[in-house]
Structure 1
Amino acid sequence: MSEAEQTFGITLEQVSDYEFRVRFDDTAIPDLITDETSPLGRDAGPNPSRLIAAGVANCLAASLLFALRKYKNTPGAIGAKSTLTMARNEHGRLRIKHIGVDLQLADKAEVLEHLDRVLAQFEDFCIVTQSVRQGIAVDVSLRDGDGTLLTLPSQA
């Protein structure tokens, strides 16, 4: 791994049905409960699609804050609202089609220094949004109860 690469892990443990406990490895971050929405799950926590919507909105808000502070601004609280749209693909499977994020500044534009520069670059600071926009390579492996690696159709 190069110096520019960073790696982190999570551990997922099934609690019941579609409810999972997410542990953030090597950190003091509290566990997170995820679950599918009803009727499939019990709504015990956010589902993965909601986590993606939250991740994109949070990253954009944090990137905006970073960019504002880079130019010596001390902005008020930043808010964000994210709307995720899902639709069925040609195989009838639900897929994320669109994520819209509305960011809200507490300050009037005219009191913010170098706002044109902030607006020109803050999205580029957002790791999550830019990664989602480009697509993310995902490799999958599956082991059975004995630890035997199973061959997935996508790898055959």
Structure 2
Amino acid sequence: MAAQLTHAARKLWAACRRHPWMARAMASFIRPEPMPEAMKYTEWVLRALRGTDLRVHQVMHAHLMLIAYVQGLGMSMELEGHALQDTGVSNDEWMDRNGGRFAAIVSSGGYPVLATIFQHEPFELDLDSLFGFGLERLLDGIAVIIAETSG
């Protein structure tokens, strides 16, 4: 089950990477568009959860939570693309320009925990690594709910 959910989320993430507009296009959970391909994806994910002891609404919530997670990071990716298009400044260039200001604020003494994080090693935000880390935690949470309902 976890392998199928991981594959499903990574497949959706890859689609968002290829088509940055996609996260916005799948934005409505309350009023979804009736799209056969999206419904095939939903069916596939629900099938992965079918063999668990989750209640019906928990299965649907797990599916929607997985989509919302991918969508949230996908929206960040789209916003980054717009920022690059609007300013012509890459993420690395932006950090080079603003890194000193961040460092000055962090080293002011008002952010001791944040300061310790940056003292140990450079932190590079990579959406793919953030995606992988968050997906594992999300699936861990689903596994806990399955264990609780299994009794």
TM-score of the aligned structures, taking structure 1 as reference length:
0.29
The structure where helix makes up a greater share of residues is: 2
**Larger proportion of strand:** 1
Query: What's the TM-score, normalizing by structure 2?
Result: 0.30
Higher RCO structure (Cα 8 Å, ≥6 apart): 2
